[in-house]
Amino acid sequence: MDKQTDLPTNRPIIASETIIYSSPSPDSIWCETPAIVKTSTGRLIVTFDLAGPGFSALSDSSLAGTKKNAIGVVMTSDNEGISWVQRHIVPFWHARPFAVGNRLYMLGNAGDLYIIESNDDGTTWSQPCRLTYGESWHGSATNYLVEGHSVLISMEKEAERDIKGWNVAGLSPVLLKGNAKHSLLLPSSWKYSQGPSYNDLCPRHSGNYFGVPFYPSGDREPARLECGAVASPPGWLEGNVVRIHDDQHIWHDPSGSTVHILLRANTNGNGYAAIVRAVDRADGTIRIEPVITPSGAKLVHLPMPGGSLKFYLSYDSHSKKYWLAASIIDDSMCTLASMPSGRFNLPSNQRNKLGLFFSSNCVDWLFAGVIAKGDLELEARNYPAFCVDNDDLLIVARSGDKRATNCQYVNLITFHRVPNFRKFLY
């Protein structure tokens, strides 16, 4: 049958699902920030965080640069995800594993940035090495690019610390550029971009006429809404790095000096991600800048499915498409009073459906299928990360079952495989 018409008619679940980890105490130890990488030997490495009131202290309090009680966990599978072995515990979080040649790294934060290395396929790991001092970082298990000896990763630095509550308005997106010719455990091997916070780039009321913020919020503190809901000041977080390869794309940079960062946008509503570009300058610095449209207007908010929650995207050179795993939000317009039980805080915070999308240009997205779906609101399938395994897509998710507190504070890490994922192209 022709690929243009060989499509599922009722959009069934397109991925298998198995549980990697289940919390021993679902109401007090929560599963967060999963990530996955496949090594050159075929071993799968999965990392995630454990956090919540069930932790009285970090395993190594000397790295506790924030008030968060959490640890990072490393697990491996040598049978294509059928079973998993715990290999390591680290005293930082918001981490992602990545491979450069035969070496594995795991980069995260505990206030400052920390990194560890494995030279034996993830069986054992080095002690944490500190990359920054006296700073406040944020991030998630978003994507990374390895280009020659360069490693490109997006994280966020807290530029404005006086914003109360969930401070994503004061975050500045930062492109981290590692030089793998030297040890990535050394601070000198990393270069950091400079640029504005969300508040710097998007002054109050700049979102008029397209509904940002959707619910009212204070300038530097959250607003208390009905039914106990809280609306934080608009902001951005959890960026993915994108290289535009198509030389006919309006954002293509033939010099190779520019990458784009697509971020989760907190608008207190649905439908938008955020975007900036990172430019390598002739003087050796990297600068974060707004994207400029042909009209001369600044483009910061970009329509994207699931852009209001954490998403993961990656370019597949085989299909020449960008693939996106993101939350499917189809009930953001209910009233605060009528939100389903198990949904967290605002109507747009719907996390029990996870979808797969693809695009030729990172702007116009097509729906491929439903990766996973929880029957109840609190049975989340969200915060995805993935890697390509030949013809299959391997996805990990922050998930919950009926024992979860709600869709935000969940108790499972799940593994999903989409066989022959490129067949969903049309």
Rg (CA), the chain: 20
Nearest CA among 413, 414, 402, 415 for reference residue 27 = 402
Q: How many helices (H) and strands (E) does the chain have?
A: 1, 30
pLDDT (tens digit per residue) in 44-94: 999 999 999 887 644 444 455 566 778 999 999 999 999 999 999 999 999
Kindly list the domain boundaries of the chain, sorted by start residue. Answer: 16-189+306-424
Q: What are phi and psi of 224, to 5 degrees?
A: -90, 125
pLDDT (tens digit per residue) in 159-185: 998 999 999 999 999 999 999 999 999
pLDDT at res. 67: 60
Three-state SS for 212?
coil
Task: Categorize the per-residue pLDDT at 361 as very low, low, confident or very high, splitting at 50, 70 and 90.
Answer: very high
Supply the pTM of this predicted model: 0.95
For residue 21, give the amino acid letter: Y
Residue 213 has pLDDT above 50, yes or no: yes
Nearest CA among 419, 302, 333, 317 for reference residue 368 = 419
Strand boundaries in 23-125, DSSP class E: 30-38, 44-51, 70-77, 85-90, 93-100, 103-110, 112-118
- Averaged pLDDT for residues 28-40: 97
Q: Is 142 exposed, middle or buried (0-12, 13-18, 19+ CB in 10 A)?
A: buried
Q: Is 93 exposed, middle or buried (0-12, 13-18, 19+ CB in 10 A)?
A: buried
Fold of 16-189+306-424: Neuraminidase (2.120.10)
pLDDT (tens digit per residue) in 275-316: 999 999 999 999 999 999 999 999 999 999 999 999 999 999
Take residue 52 and report the two structure tokens written for it. Answer: 């919540």
Return d(Cα 165, Cα 302) in angstroms, integer: 25
Three-state SS for 276?
strand
